[in-house]
Each structure stands twice: as C-alpha cells, then as structure tokens.
Amino acid sequence: MSVLVGKKAPVFHADAVVNGGEFVENFSLDQYIGKKEVVFFFYPLDFTFVCPTELLAFQEKMEEFDKRNVAVVGCSVDSKFSHWAWLNTEKNHGGIKGVKYPLVSDLAKTISENYDVLAGEFDYNDEGEMAFKGAPVAFRGLFLIDKTGTVRHQVVNDLPLGRSIDEALRMVDALQFFEANGEVCPANWSKGKDGMKASADGVADYLSKH
C-alpha cells in the first residue's frame, strides 16, 4: 500500500455524475487547486450495503464541509450510468437520492490503481490467462488534499469497515488550524482546543496546561 501523504495527488480525468444526476466528462480534481481542499474518497460498489450509509452520511454533513470550503468527491469502479441510477433511487429502495456531491466513475480501475486502493491485482494464472486476484473493487480509501493538490492525510479501511465522517471533518479542521496558526495539533485535538508550537518549549508549555 503506497503512502501518498506529502505527494501530489494522482491526476485523472474521468466521467462523473454531479448535482445528483448531471453527466460530466473529463472531471478532474485539478479544478479545486488554489480554491478548495478536497476530501476524495473511494467506496467498493453502488447498490451495496455499507456504501449507501457512508455516501448518505457525507451528504448529511455537507453543510459542515461547505462551511469549511471543502469539496467532497466520491469514486467507485461503477459506470456513470450505475451512479446515475443509484442517485435516482429512493433511500427506502437502497438508493442514495439526495446526494449532490460528485461521484466519479473509475470503470477502468486506473484511478483506484493510481491511489493504490484497488483490492486486488491483475496477474496471469497457471494456464497463462490474464486473471484478477482479489476483489476488483476499491477499498474504502479517503484522501485529504490541500489547495496545492498535495495529499495531507489518508486512511484506508477494508471492505466491511465503514468510515467516520466526523473524523474526516476533524482532519480538515486540523489541517486548516495548522495552516492558519502555524501550530500543530496534539493527540485527540478537535476544533476549539489549543494547538501547540512545534518545539520543546511548546510541548512543555502545552503539557503544563493540560
């Protein structure tokens, strides 16, 4: 598993569905450079079980992401048509109607491969035939990308393990706090708490107060 933290986020141009039902060609995260941080997350498949809980939970917190001027973008190996159908299916039928942030189609699995979250790989079997070993879907990867296009945080969950959207917000707050104040964020930091200076004196001062 590659660590992308501190590196430029892999560039892609792909089909996407935005605003709950509009097709877009050549969608790219480059549009946010210099303007917004991005929470870019992968999920395994449309029309599954844990996935709708995550996507709907992100939508429920969109007001909080908007307040922080952060774009949220989802991605799976499904086609844009599958995304569109899922976005237009009612929640009580397993759909995610009401989700408005972009969903990227990684049908060729190249985006998942470049972010190193693909839950398997292509290889040759004993008969010399090309085969896929593992699951041909993405793990539940999440990447926080700053305004320069650099990855500042990443977390990857196995397929059965849903994510905490509150934790994603906390990491956004930590990044924005550091960039605004130049102070680092200690263990269990959350918005409204003290940061500390990245020095021996700063650590001693922080610990003496806590």
Question: Which among 9, 51, 72, 172 is annotated as catalytic?
Answer: 51
**Is 185 an annotated catalytic residue?**
no
Q: Give the pair of three-digit tokens for residue 177.
A: 């706090």
- Go through 171-204 and write b for each residue having 16 or more CB atoms within 10 A of its CB, e for each that does not: bbbbbbbbeeeebbbeeebeeeeebbeeeeeeee
- Asked if residues 186 and 195 have their Cβ atoms less than 8 Å apart, the reply is yes
> First-to-last CA distance in the chain?
36
d(C-alpha 74, C-alpha 81), whole Å: 15
Q: For residues 39 and 131, what is the distance between their CA atoms, to the nearest angstrom? A: 32
- Annotated catalytic residues are 51
